């Protein structure tokens, strides 16, 4: 074997070993989250091919460089000039053409996968998504029984078309386990298709910096069996008349999206937590202290910016519209449609009273 061939064989072996080690490290460091949607399959295959290519290219460059530095270094007694090389045209053509083909092929492949993942599927179910600073709201326009919800429940193995809008700034709907991601853009309806194929609980994250509490803009998503999903719809068809005021209050808190900003477990969201709120003494921005009673709650719902408790930002709740007006309209509708006499604010207060520490 000539000396050159020996070097080439040694380098080739080192490149293969280097690529394998790099691939092992990459896939150990960057473990992908659980794959829980049909869309995840082709996307993970692409990730994997990228990892293999990256490992090979990394090893190729590092091994050639390292080998040259170590094996061809100047010997202690060598004072001569190095050999003169001119460029190698064949090599240059190869290292231009090969990556070009690889990149074009990856581009075509990615476009095909994107088209496949975003195309309409049979038996889709539509879900509307509203993103706002800093919570999510969902509704199921095709299922009358389900009102607005602050969490998502989806049947397994059915393609869901999310029609997404934002009430304020850019947000992005992202469930890492589903791999796909889509921005919510002001003034536009954007679409995302997901086909969850693994029963379980996941978290929706906002993946677009959208202000102070961006990192807290999370929502629960549960993927359930077809039967559980139907049972859940059934559960939603509760007769309002059968509920106690506090139970209705909890339902309103969900339906009107209150829970997006007011937690019931003491955690701090955009608005004060409702846990232990009733009867609490609060310091207002103007230095005055008040006790949170029926009257204060009613006033705060009807005119949220009037008496702001220190530490909270005015304008957030009023930006969501006039709740007093909405409640009046909905109460009138319940009166005409179901002959039901309810006071939504009173129900919410009744619910608040149950949230004591
Ligand atoms: Cu919404 Cu970040």
**Could you tell me the distance, in angstroms and rounded to a whole number, from the CA of residue 168 to the centre of ligand 1?**
10
**Average pLDDT in the 183-212 region?**
93
Ligand 1 pocket residues where CB is under 6 Å: 131, 134, 171, 206, 208-210, 214, 217
Determine the atom of ligand 1 nearest the C-alpha atom of 207. Answer: 2
Percent above pLDDT 90 for the chain:
48
DSSP notation for 111-148: HHHHHHHHS--TT-EEEEEEEETTEEEEE-TT-TT---
Radius of gyration of the chain (CA): 30
3-state secondary structure at position 279: coil
Q: What pLDDT score does 1 carry?
A: 65
Whether the per-residue pLDDT at 192 is higher than 70: the answer is yes
Q: In this structure, are residues 118 and 194 in contact, taking their beta carbons and an 8 Å threshold?
A: no
Q: In this structure, are residues 150 and 254 in contact, taking their beta carbons and an 8 Å threshold?
A: yes
**Average pLDDT in the 157-174 region?**
93
Closest-CA residue to 266 (of 277, 255, 256): 277
**Could you tell me the distance, in angstroms and rounded to a whole number, from the CA of residue 33 to the centre of ligand 1?**
21
Q: What is the DSSP letter of 356?
A: -
Q: Enumerate residues 6+ apart whose C-beta is below 8 A from 50.
A: 106
Strand partners, 162: 127, 192
Determine the atom of ligand 1 nearest the C-alpha atom of 206. Answer: 2
pLDDT digits (tens, 9 = 90+) for 60-111: 999 999 999 999 888 888 888 878 888 889 999 999 999 999 999 999 999 9
Whether the per-residue pLDDT at 238 is higher than 70: the answer is no
pLDDT digits (tens, 9 = 90+) for 122-160: 889 999 999 998 899 998 888 877 778 888 999 999 999
Q: What pLDDT score does 142 carry?
A: 86
Q: Cα(164)–Cα(179) distance, rounded to whole angstroms?
A: 17
**Could you tell me the distance, in angstroms and rounded to a whole number, from the CA of residue 257 to the centre of ligand 1?**
17
The protein residue with its alpha carbon nearest to ligand 1, atom 1, reads 171
What pLDDT band is residue 316 in, cutting at 50, 70 and 90? confident
Q: Cα(205)–Cα(219) distance, rounded to whole angstroms?
A: 7
Count of CA atoms in the C-beta half-sphere (13 A) of 210: 28
Closest-CA residue to 119 (of 42, 176, 46): 42
Burial class (CB in 10 A: 0-12, 13-18, 19+), 119: exposed
Mean of the per-residue pLDDT values for the chain?
89
**Could you tell me the distance, in angstroms and rounded to a whole number, from the CA of residue 322 to the centre of ligand 1?**
24
Q: Cα(196)–Cα(35) distance, rounded to whole angstroms?
A: 9
Q: In this structure, are residues 169 and 137 in contact, taking their beta carbons and an 8 Å threshold?
A: no
Q: How far is CA 218 from the centre of its chain?
A: 7
Determine the atom of ligand 1 nearest the C-alpha atom of 134. Answer: 1
Q: Enumerate residues 6+ apart whose C-beta is below 8 A from 73.
A: none
Cα separations in angstroms, 125 against 117, 143, 159, 188, 210: 16, 9, 6, 20, 28
Determine the atom of ligand 1 nearest the C-alpha atom of 217. Answer: 1
| DSSP-based helix, strand, coil % in the chain, nearest 5 | 45, 15, 35
Q: What pLDDT score does 223 carry?
A: 94
């Amino acid at each position: 074997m000539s000396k050159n061939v020996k070097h080439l064989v040694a380098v080739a072996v080192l490149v293969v070993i280097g690529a394998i080690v790099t691939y092992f490290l990459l896939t150990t460091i960057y473990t992908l989250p659980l794959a829980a949607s049909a869309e995840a399959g082709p996307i993970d295959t692409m990730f994997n091919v990228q990892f293999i290519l990256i490992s090979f290219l990394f090893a190729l460059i590092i091994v050639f460089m390292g080998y040259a530095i170590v094996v061809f270094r100047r010997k202690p007694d060598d004072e001569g000039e190095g050999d003169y090389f001119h460029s190698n045209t064949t090599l240059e053509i190869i290292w231009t053409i090969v990556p070009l083909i690889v990149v074009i092929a990856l581009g075509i492949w990615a476009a095909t996968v994107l088209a496949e993942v975003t195309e309409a599927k049979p038996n889709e179910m539509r879900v509307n998504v509203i993103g706002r600073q800093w919570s999510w709201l969902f509704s199921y326009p095709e299922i009358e029984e389900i009102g607005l919800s602050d969490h998502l429940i989806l049947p397994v193995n059915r393609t869901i078309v999310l029609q997404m809008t934002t009430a304020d700034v850019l947000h992005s709907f992202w469930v890492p386990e589903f791999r796909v991601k889509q921005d919510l853009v002001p003034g536009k309806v954007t679409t995302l298709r997901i086909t969850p194929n693994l029963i379980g609980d996941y978290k929706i994250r906002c993946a677009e910096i959208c202000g102070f509490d961006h990192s807290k803009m999370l929502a629960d998503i549960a993927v359930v069996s077809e039967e559980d999903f139907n049972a859940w719809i059934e559960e939603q068809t509760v007769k309002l008349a059968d509920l106690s005021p506090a139970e209705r209050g909890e339902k309103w808190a969900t339906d009107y999206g209150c829970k997006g900003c007011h937690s019931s477990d003491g955690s701090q969201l955009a608005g004060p937590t409702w846990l232990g709120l009733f009867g609490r003494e609060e310091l207002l921005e103007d230095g005055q202290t008040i006790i949170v009673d029926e009257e204060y709650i009613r006033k705060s719902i009807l005119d949220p910016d009037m008496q702001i408790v220190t530490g909270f930002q005015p304008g957030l709740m009023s930006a969501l519209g006039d709740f007093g007006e909405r409640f009046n309209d909905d109460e009138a509708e319940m009166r005409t449609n179901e002959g039901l006499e309810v006071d939504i604010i009173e129900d919410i207060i009744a619910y608040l009273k149950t949230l004591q520490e």
